[in-house]
Amino acid sequence: MSTPAVSERHQSIPVEFADEEESIKITGFWMFLMTDMIIFASLFAVYAVYRSRTALGPTPQQLFHLGPTVLETLLLLTSSFTVGIAVWAMRHNRLRMVFGWLIATLVLGAGFVITEISDFVSYMSQGATWHVSGFLSGFYVLVGTHGAHVTFGIMWAITLLLQLRRRGLTAVTRRKLFTFSLYWHFLDIVWVFIFTFVYLSGKIA
């Protein structure tokens, strides 16, 4: 691996940016997040237009359960905190701590996904499938895309753990952990919007 001595570049830069090549990859990842953000923006726009198009199906107010979604919010916000600690530990070279907090993140994420799936299942068992209305289509696809992202993130975290176990903290694994945390925080922010614009405002309106 080409790992130019970390200390050669400015000390003030966080370690994950110390290697030029890896830092370019982080820039690239930001660009990717931008495209992903626009995917979500488009889906939000679709949802905003479709939320009143309930056809013969339920309205948002009739459909949503706030309980599970509050739980999901708690789980995901906490997992954003734990992944933050994992990055802090990475910067201080504490591999065991990285493991612990990354696993915690993963478990919280899994809790989120399971809660979301069971919530969806209960909606669908009442007959609220996406075939029923434009509103339900927009809802399932917006929230489901986010859920699919979280699921993908969990699989990513697992491969990351395996790489960390084999290689420890190198320029490459540091950068991978850091980009994973960016991804995870991003999903958290998207969720905040989903929670407010879909669930809360749907329940109130």
Q: Which amino acid is present at 194?
A: I
Pair of tokens at residue 66: 């706030």
Rounded Cα–Cα distance for residues 50 and 56 (Å): 13
Terminal-residue alpha carbon distance, the chain: 56
User: Toward other proteins, which CB reaches closer, 24 or 66?
Assistant: 24
Q: Which of residues 169-188 bind other proteins (CB under 8 A)?
A: 172
User: Toward other proteins, which CB reaches closer, 5 or 31?
Assistant: 31
Choices 63-71, 89-97, 107-115, 137-145 (CB under 8 A): range interacting with other proteins: 137-145
Helices vs. strands in the chain: H and E counts, helices first: 7, 0
Q: Using CA of residue 37, residue 38, residue 43, residue 47, what is the dihedral sign?
A: positive
* Residue 26 DSSP one-character state: H
117 binds other proteins (CB under 8 A): no
13 binds other proteins (CB under 8 A): no
User: Toward other proteins, which CB reaches closer, 9 or 25?
Assistant: 25
Interface with other proteins (CB under 8 A), residue total 40
Choices 5-13, 85-93, 112-120, 157-165 (CB under 8 A): range interacting with other proteins: 157-165
Choices 5-13, 29-37, 80-88, 102-110 (CB under 8 A): range interacting with other proteins: 29-37
What does each C-alpha distance from 177 to 129, 194, 204 come to in angstroms? 37, 26, 39
Rounded Cα–Cα distance for residues 40 and 147 (Å): 12
Residues that bind other proteins (CB under 8 A): 1-2, 24-25, 27-28, 31-32, 34-36, 38-39, 41-43, 46, 49-50, 53-55, 57, 130-138, 140-141, 156, 159, 162-163, 167, 172
